[in-house]
Amino acid sequence: MVRKYWILILILFWIGPSIQAQIVLPQTIMAKVKEKQLKVRWEPQSKLEWERSKKEGYTIEIYKEDGGLVVKENIKPLPRDQWSKYIEGKTPTMADFYNGAVNLIYADRSELNDLEEIVDSENKKEAVDSLQLGLVLYSSTYKFEICELSGLGYKTKLEDYGIYRIKVYVGTDVSSAQEITIKSERFLKATGIPKMDAEFGNRVVRLSFLSKEFQNIYFGYFIDISEDNNRYKRLNEMPFVNTMDDIEGLDEAFPIKHVDTLQQNYKTYWFRLKGMDYFGDVSFKFSTVSGYGFDLIRKPPIIYHTDQTQDNKGLIQWRADKKDERLIQEYQVHRADSMKGEFIPVMTEISPSDREVKIPLTAKKNYFKIVMKPKDGRNISSQVLYIMGQDLEPPETPTGFTGTIDTAGIVTLTWNKNKEDDLWGYKLFESNRKTDEFTVMTHSPIPDTIITDTINLRTIKKEIYYQMIAVDDRNNRSPFTEILTIELPDKMPPDYPVIRKISFDGKQILLEWMESGSDDVASYSIYKRDINNKDASWSLIQEFSVSDSLGIYIDEEFQYESQYAYIMTATDESGLDSEPSPYQKVFTKKPKALFKDGIKSIEVDINKKKKTAKIIWELKEKEKIKELMIYRGKSEKEVSLWKIIDPDPNYLQVENLKKKTPMFYFIKPIYFEGDLSKSSKAIKVEIK
């Protein structure tokens, strides 16, 4: 089955979407009059309409405008068994078009299934149905006789000149009619023909032309060749067709190209272009181009050395094959301001035997290439090389140099872009002190106008300093910018103050301290804690500014016979607090003159048998006493607080006494007002 359509399948892959979309004719109905012979052809509007026409045929009606009906006929495809007599005598290629058309017209579903294998579509059946009709229409364009045999075309001889109206519809369904009006004196001949271009080479010619402008007139094109511009021979049996012209939404025009081999060089050949319309007729109009093949230069010139001379000229030396000198008309030097800029000739008519030139350097930047101009064919260029002109002028000092720093220590520096066209970039420098030597940040010039730097903020320095210069391609350097000062965010807490002395005189606690060594301290804070109270925390008792600091502080809030600890912190101008100072403590011992005598008597009763002792006392002003502090120890001088008890009962039971292990006991009353009593006399408890 596929063998039957091989030429049409080839077209499928060549023209692809044009056939499947059924876009073959510029209009759905076309007509042409040539020497009073009228030709009409049309496209079915759908696959369903085409299938109906195979059974009902197409009805064609031809009316003369100043008369009545001239022709009315019903046209159907020629039966399959009658096509052979029309195929006899045709070239193999044309015979394939005839065979492809008849096989597609009368193909059954099983035969069309073979085509589904080569169609790339999600809906293969719909695509093959479209392809089936499209291929028939396409093959009909190569030969109008195929169009007639397919039931999609009609021709007749007109008796008179005039205007004719043509109507075509399926069977008797006039509602499906397509119409066209034509003048009988009108010949469907092109008013022009595409211009053909030719590029000749070594025994070869590359022909090309644009067809989009003529796509409504010509279906394809033929090219003929001649050696004398008189007798021409056709190069292509089948017309060249530009399928790119039919793609919707594609505004760009793509040329038809053909490459042909020439028998010999330096002999003139003529090529003639003719168009074939949608009725298979070839145009009388044509365009012609001529030329000859020639030997090619195989190697381009290669620049191997460039230099700048003391008199500011560019020395260029190149290599080229001496065998090619006979093919060279001249060398040229082309120059541009940049690698991708426009190159223009600055020196021409250089002898084919020369390999060196000196050319004035008219700018700071010069890009050169050697162009070999052959006697025939395109110019051949060397590689592009750069030669720098003399430049002793430094760039301008950068402007707008500024910077910012964030809390993470990221410095962002920016500046305005210089206007010099030979600018290489910028170098930046930094220093921790304004008077110190600046160190380079960027060893190679940077092209940008922004750079970042990272600063360690855990430092005592308060500022960082920057400068910059501009550098051109010749390493000429601009003057330095003014020094840019960046103030650093304060992330370094101040040193703490030191409490160097603390004392108690019986009436007040005196603190003396040394101030912090940091120069940005704004205030000091003093904290206090009661050591005797295990649950007590540090509490702020005083905060004052540096200007109010006298290095001393008097604390009158205390209780006698207590121990207090003090610490200090410093806060800087950024609100950062120092570490706390080492604490200092003081004991508020009550002066003797202030101690009451709250004990009237004290004695001990020892029970040797039970190894117990009962310490009994009598208090003065018992109702004013809050609690009793019991001290004990192994000697009168080595005692410590043992426990605190209520005044009642008036005795203390001591258990588990050991022989020959004396213990000494003291009692000290504490009054509700906070006053202390003198200690009792020492009570010795011992079992001998």
Alpha carbon separation from 513 to 537, 549, 554, 622, 674 (Å, rounded):
22, 10, 12, 44, 30
- The total of other beta-carbon atoms located within 10 Å of residue 461's CB is 12
Query: In which residue are the tokens 């840019």 written?
Result: 484
CA dist., res. 145 & res. 155, Å (int): 10
Query: In b/e form, how buried is each residue of 159-198, taking b as 16+ CB within 10 angstroms?
Result: eeeeebebbbbbeeeeebebebebebeeebebeebbebeb
CA atoms within 13 A on the CB side of 170: 16
Contact 281, 34 (CB under 8 A): yes
Token pair, residue 389, equals: 């002109």
CA angle 502, 539, 643 (to 5 degrees): 75
CA dist., res. 381 & res. 105, Å (int): 58
Separation of first and last alpha carbons in the chain: 136
The identity of residue 359, as a single letter, is I
In this structure, the chain runs to a length of 688
pLDDT-flagged residues of the chain (< 70): 1-23, 110-124, 185-191, 248, 460, 592-595, 674-676
pLDDT value of residue 592: 64
Strands (DSSP E) along 302-442, which ranges?
Answer: 302-308, 313-319, 328-336, 344-350, 356-360, 365-374, 380-381, 385-388, 402-405, 410-414, 423-431, 439-440
Residues 6+ apart with CB under 8 A from 603: 615, 616, 617, 683
CA dist., res. 41 & res. 43, Å (int): 7
CA dist., res. 398 & res. 470, Å (int): 6
pLDDT value of residue 119: 62
Q: 259 forms bridges with which residues in the sheet?
A: 206
Token pair, residue 665, equals: 């006991």
Asked, as a colleague might, if the bond just before 301 is cis with ω within 30 of 0, I would say no
Contact 24, 141 (CB under 8 A): yes
Alpha carbon separation from 202 to 197, 508, 671 (Å, rounded):
17, 117, 128
Residues 6+ apart with CB under 8 A from 399: 415, 416
The identity of residue 252, as a single letter, is E
Q: What are phi and psi of 6, to 5 degrees?
A: -60, -40
DSSP 663-678: EEEEEEEEETTS-BBP
pLDDT value of residue 452: 92
- The total of other beta-carbon atoms located within 10 Å of residue 79's CB is 10
Starting at the edge strand found earlier in the chain, the sheet holding 37-42 runs: 29-34, 37-42, 153-157
3-state secondary structure of 540: strand
Token pair, residue 263, equals: 């028998």
Tell which residue, 600, 636, 631, 605, has the closest CA to residue 618.
600
Tell which residue, 333, 336, 322, has the closest CA to residue 371.
333
pLDDT value of residue 593: 52
Alpha carbon separation from 216 to 26, 185, 250, 413, 535 (Å, rounded):
6, 20, 16, 65, 104
Token pair, residue 118, equals: 């080569």
3-state secondary structure of 76: coil
What pLDDT, in 10s, does the model give residues 453-484? 988 877 767 789 999 999 998 889 999 999 99
CA atoms within 13 A on the CB side of 474: 18
Token pair, residue 198, equals: 């030719």
Q: Is residue 302 packed enough to be buried (19+ CB in 10 Å), middle (13-18) or exposed (0-12)?
A: exposed
pLDDT value of residue 114: 66
> Given CA atoms 636, 642, 646, 651 in this order, what sign does their dihedral have?
negative
DSSP 169-206: EETT-GGG-EEEEEETT-B---S--PPPEEEEETTEEE
Residues 6+ apart with CB under 8 A from 244: 250, 254
Query: In b/e form, how buried is each residue of 248-281, taking b as 16+ CB within 10 angstroms?
Result: eeeeeeebbebeeebeebeeebbbbbbbbbbbbb
Tell which residue, 650, 648, 27, 55, has the closest CA to residue 277.
27
CA atoms within 13 A on the CB side of 137: 28
Query: In which residue are the tokens 């005039």 written?
Result: 162
144: part of which helix (H) or strand (E)? Answer: helix 144-149
What pLDDT, in 10s, does the model give residues 413-450? 999 999 988 899 999 999 998 889 999 998 899 999 99
